């Protein structure tokens, strides 16, 4: 029972450590996702206000082919930047979901480990109580046996003393 109790305590301790780790990971993921959310909100405002790009990027002129190519390059860079913001936000959201799922599973394991520990503690307490009861019975039996032995020895001693007295009594008169 003691070994099972120690095993349950160890399982509980390990579960608590994993729970703390997943909690820290979830907090970090939430912070990262909040930062990414702000970037996405800025991106959404930018798209709403001016089509997603600064005013200079929107003025393509066929009269200036070099400026037109620069504008396309800037448009490509802006698109790549927007795409990376969305991809990173998606990855962070997925990571947060995985972490919160792992956290929920670990909370369930912790609950189970706590219940197991309580059950093992109850089993150990019951085993100790039973052993103490048996020990008390043994001690009681041993005391009774010792008392019976002492009574028998006393009876024998009294009997022996009476026989000596009877033998000695006829000579004394």
Question: What is the mean pLDDT of the segment spanning 143-150?
Answer: 86
1, containing H or E segment: none
Residue 53, classed as helix, strand or coil, is coil
Contacts of 23 by beta carbon, 8 Å cutoff, 6+ apart:
103
Contact (CB, 8 A) for 12 and 54: no
pLDDT digits (tens, 9 = 90+) for 38-91: 887 877 777 667 655 544 444 555 566 676 566 566 667 767 777 777 788 788
Report pTM.
0.53
Residue 70, classed as helix, strand or coil, is helix
Question: In whole angstroms, what is the distance from residue 123 CA to residue 126 CA?
Answer: 5
pLDDT digits (tens, 9 = 90+) for 92-108: 888 888 888 988 998 89
pLDDT digits (tens, 9 = 90+) for 115-145: 888 888 888 888 888 988 888 888 888 888 8
């Amino acid at each position: 029972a003691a070994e099972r109790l120690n095993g349950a305590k160890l399982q509980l301790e390990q579960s608590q450590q994993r729970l703390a780790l997943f909690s820290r990971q979830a907090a970090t993921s939430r912070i990262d996702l909040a930062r990414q959310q702000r970037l996405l909100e800025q991106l959404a405002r930018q798209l709403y206000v001016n089509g997603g790009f600064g005013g200079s990027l929107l003025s393509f002129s066929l009269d200036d082919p070099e400026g037109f190519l620069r504008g396309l390059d800037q448009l490509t860079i802006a698109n790549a930047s927007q795409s990376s913001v969305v991809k990173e936000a998606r990855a962070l959201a997925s990571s947060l979901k995985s972490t919160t799922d792992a956290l929920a599973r670990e909370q369930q394991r912790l609950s189970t480990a706590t219940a197991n520990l309580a059950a093992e503690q109850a089993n150990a307490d019951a085993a100790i109580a039973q052993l103490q009861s048996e020990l008390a019975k043994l001690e009681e039996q041993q005391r009774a046996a010792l008392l019976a032995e002492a009574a028998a020895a006393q009876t024998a001693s009294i009997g022996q003393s009476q026989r000596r007295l009877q033998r000695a009594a006829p000579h004394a008169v």
